[in-house]
Amino acid sequence: MYSEKVMDHFQNPRNVGEIENASGVGTVGNAKCGDIMRIYLDIDDNGVIQDCKFKTFGCGAAVATSSMATELVKGKTVQEALLVTNKAVMEALDGLPPVKVHCSLLAEEGIHAALWDYAEKNGIVIEGLKKPKNDISEGEEEEEY
């Protein structure tokens, strides 16, 4: 049912954790299942993503897609990171079963929410970036999960 790559990223997820004083943090909820994802980005002065970490209350497919997505955005500019769509992530993982496609949206939206947070904090506009509709970052500062 799952590709070898999905199983690998599920069993050995890369980039789990958080980044202290991150440049951008985004938290999103999956409207379909209620699962939650938080993404942390460390972005340097040139707008290049130096590090990316995630934490999730999500299923195995959410873990695997976030692991791959965080790997893919590292080293990219914020603009290039927008091309790391859930489709691109699924392709990199050799596919997901159709019922699990919605899980891959968590990583994409989490990255977008973190980029949104970064842009807001720095008063910049990232062309083509929209605030994800499942962004639940508002007032999350003190919240732990």
| Residues near ligand FES (CB under 6 A) | 30, 33, 35, 58-59, 61-62, 103, 106
CA-to-CA dists, residue 63 to 13, 110, 131, angstroms? 7, 12, 22
CB of 111 to ligand FES, least distance (A): 15
Closer residue to ligand FES in complex, CB, 26/42: 26
CA-to-CA dists, residue 14 to 8, 10, 51, 82, 123, angstroms? 10, 9, 12, 20, 31
| Active site positions, annotated | 33, 103
| DSSP label at residue 57 | E
Alpha-carbon span 50 to 29, nearest angstrom? 25
CB of 90 to ligand FES, least distance (A): 13
Closer residue to ligand FES in complex, CB, 23/67: 67
Closer residue to ligand FES in complex, CB, 6/106: 106
CB of 40 to ligand FES, least distance (A): 19
